[in-house]
Amino acid sequence: MHEMSIATAVVEQVDAAAREHGMDAVARVRLQVGELAGVVPSALDFCFELACAGTLLEGAVLETESVAARARCLPCATEWAVGMPPDLGCPRCGGGSVELLAGRELQILGVDWAERPAGAAARQEG
């Protein structure tokens, strides 16, 4: 499942950053996901929860920000929403020489750190 590899990579990156900065818990991770990235949001949520188990991210919330796909025709400079399924033919001149401007994004936008309740770290370590 594509979403599991994405969730695992996100958890590994955030976990490493948390440890590097001496943080002991993560409350929220915000991702930017392009419409053409091939990610099913509900599957990513499910996989993220599984990938977080036993890490500093356990219990963290995943928030995704969707980015609409946009393209620009190189000959006539018309820009348009690509939509799903993708329509990469220029709506103005019919040209096929197109630059994709947005829609393939898949990046971590931010992380909100949290503190574990007293005793939680000891229970997790033991």
pLDDT in tens, 8-39: 999 999 999 999 999 999 999 999 999 999 99
Instruction: Count other Cβ atoms within 10 Å, centred on residue 27.
Output: 13
Q: Indicate the DSSP class of residue 89.
A: S
pLDDT higher than threshold 90 for residue 87: no
Residue 86 in any domain: the answer is: no
Residue 122 in any domain: the answer is: no
Instruction: Tell which residue, 123, 44, 103, 120, has the closest CA to residue 29.
Output: 44
Instruction: Count other Cβ atoms within 10 Å, centred on residue 77.
Output: 11
Find the CATH number of the domain harbouring 36.
Answer: 3.30.2320.50
Residue 34 in any domain: the answer is: yes
Where does the pLDDT of residue 70 fall: very low under 50, low under 70, confident under 90, or very high at 90 and above?
very high
Instruction: Count other Cβ atoms within 10 Å, centred on residue 118.
Output: 7
Residue 15 in any domain: the answer is: yes
pTM of model > 0.85: no
Burial class (CB in 10 A: 0-12, 13-18, 19+), 6: buried
